[in-house]
Amino acid sequence: MYIEDIPERPTQAQLRLLRAHLPYSLPVLRRLQVAAGAFDGINSAGTVGSGTSSYAHILFAYDSDDLPSDVDGDHVPFAAAFLDLHKTPETAAWIYASDQDHALPPVVAEDLYAADNDRPEGWVVDRGAELVAAWSPERRARCRRLVLALLRRTRAIAHAVAPVLAAQLPARFGIPSNAVAFVKNVKANVHDGIRYVLQHPGPAEEDADPSAVTLSYYDAYDKWLFRFEDVPVLSQPEDTEYATGLSGKDGQGQPSLVWDSVRTREDVALVISRTAIPRTEETLLSVPSVALREKSTTPGEEGTLQAWAFVGVDGSLWTLHAEPAYRGRGVAKTLAARLFRQYCGVFDTTVDDSEGSNDCSEKGDGWCAADVSASNRQSQGVCKRLGAKRAWSTAWIVVTYDSLGEDE
Ligand SMILES: CC(C)(COP(=O)(O)OP(=O)(O)OC[C@H]1O[C@@H](n2cnc3c(N)ncnc32)[C@H](O)[C@@H]1OP(=O)(O)O)[C@@H](O)C(=O)NCCC(=O)NCCS
């Protein structure tokens, strides 16, 4: 096995390799494109370089003795990760393994699962188990080996930087910042099949590495994939207002909301107050957003945000929200469609493509995504209305370093 460990920003070869594995590689590809500067100057803070940090590592593990020379052609199996431990307790790592490609059953129905979370008898609870059911023992063992190698490297990096991180970072979300916490575990986003194989080593004759990883994980999430061309045009880029169809406070007229972005500290405080997912002000201002704001009637004062959505650091739809008074009127789908159409093309600008297949248009490679809880019907409804397909399951896992075992 060969491990490549690159600081802060990905190489062009790494970006091209991941692009050859779309759509399966999408979360890690997007995270690396953001590290490479996809959001520079277009995020709310107008900053450059905030997609990465001096703590970031781009890790690739190849199933070969050396760095493969032609990563653009036939490639050896590999796993890839973006790691930034200074984001803790936000997600610190995104992991992809080429073995997860084609993990989907043949597309015979619109969805991977039989029903929308009504949990009928026979409902697939462990989606990861189902996703890897058809994998050969060799494929499971190889996937585990490659991902375990990345997690062990992550552990080594955590040990090296923990004292510095603990000294520099404040306590966040009620979690103290101390060196002990940084060397205990890591929060990562993975395909749910990878989560499953990490927890379930094969028998010794098939899987040389017996480490059954100890991890906790959150509610099942589905990865919904959108194609740019399927996302309807529900507002025009030049529109400045959105007619809600509701009556005004005086019972007259139709109050409009104003198109804007999440850009002030007050805006961010409101967003944070409406979500249980830990995200810092710094992170939310480092990514692009689209928002709808009340029209202010007081000169010099801004109206309050009523709906918002962000493009997350992994390119997915983040924190889609409409205040209760505005729900059920098409606000969320219009907002999400506007966000995708406006920002889908920004990622490919980071890939230098001498063969000219990089189209650098508003569409880019055309992929957009959302992670939606299996129990969130409203959000599933929004995704369906925007032409998305439920593709695979994804998991946020907190991996206990002590359970990882040692490298061969
Ligand atoms: C999810 C949320 C953003 C939807 O906002 P909204 O403005 O009411 O959604 P829209 O009116 O644009 O609805 C779009 C589609 O979703 C579906 N939908 C909306 N609410 C639904 C509900 N309660 N049940 C089932 N489907 C629903 C409908 O199919 C609708 O399409 P249609 O109007 O063409 O029939 C809103 O309910 C919300 O803020 N919820 C709390 C935060 C949240 O869960 N965010 C998502 C995190 S991933």
Ligand 1: which residue has its CA nearest to atom 19? Answer: 378
Q: How far apart are the CA of 382 and the centre of ligand 1, in A?
A: 5
Q: Is the CB of 387 under 6 A from ligand 1?
A: no
Q: What's the pLDDT band for 120 if we cut at 50, 70, 90?
A: very low
Residues of the chain with pLDDT > 70, as a percent, come to: 86
- Peptide bond before residue 89 is cis, with ω within 30 degrees of 0: yes
What is the 327 CA–ligand 1 centroid distance (Å)?
Answer: 7
Q: Please tell me the predicted confidence (pLDDT) of residue 351.
A: 87
DSSP symbol at 362: S
pLDDT digit string, tens, across residues 129-141: 888 988 999 999 9
Cβ 116 under 6 angstroms from ligand 1: no
Which is nearest to 38 in space by CA: 21, 56, 17, 15?
Answer: 15
Question: What are the tens digits of pLDDT across the range 186-240?
Answer: 999 999 999 999 999 988 888 888 889 999 987 778 899 999 999 999 999 999 9
Q: Quick check: CB of 41 below 6 Å from ligand 1? A: no
pLDDT at 272 over 70: yes
CB of 381 shorter than 6 A to ligand 1: yes
Asked if residue 376 has its Cβ within 6 Å of ligand 1, the reply is yes
Mean pLDDT of all residues in 345-363: 74
Nearest CA to ligand 1 atom 17: 381
**Coil, strand or helix: which one is 388?**
coil
| pLDDT at residue 204 in the model | 85
333 lines ligand 1 (CB under 6 A): yes
Long-range contacts of 202-210 (CB under 8 A, 24+ apart): 202/137, 202/140, 202/141, 206/137, 206/138, 206/140, 206/141, 207/137, 207/140, 207/141, 207/144, 208/141, 208/145, 208/408, 209/141, 209/144, 209/145, 209/148, 209/405, 209/408, 210/405
**Longest C-alpha distance within the chain, in Å?**
75
Q: Is the pLDDT of residue 359 over 60?
A: no
127 lines ligand 1 (CB under 6 A): no
Pick from 164-173, 289-298, 344-353: least confident: 164-173
Distance 111 CA to ligand 1 centre (A): 19
173 pLDDT exceeds 90?
no
Provide the mean pLDDT of the chain: 87
380 lines ligand 1 (CB under 6 A): no
Ligand 1 centroid, distance to 163 Cα (angstroms): 44
Average pLDDT over residues 46-57: 94
| Residue with more model confidence, 358 or 37 | 37
385 CA to middle of ligand 1, Å? 10
Whose CA is closest to 95, among 1, 208, 11, 195? 195
- Report the range of poorest mean pLDDT among 91-100, 314-323, 361-370, 374-383: 374-383
Query: In sequence order, what are the residues at sequence separation of 6 or more whose Cβ sits closer than 8 angstroms to the Cβ of residue 11?
Result: 58
Q: Is the CB of 323 under 6 A from ligand 1?
A: no
Q: Decide: 119 in ligand 1 pocket, CB within 6 A.
A: no
Residue 356 pLDDT greater than 60, yes or no: no
| Global model pTM greater than 0.85 | yes
Give the pLDDT score at 80. 98
Which of 219, 382, 384, 386 most suits a substitution to test ligand 1, by most atoms within 8 Å of the C-beta?
Answer: 382
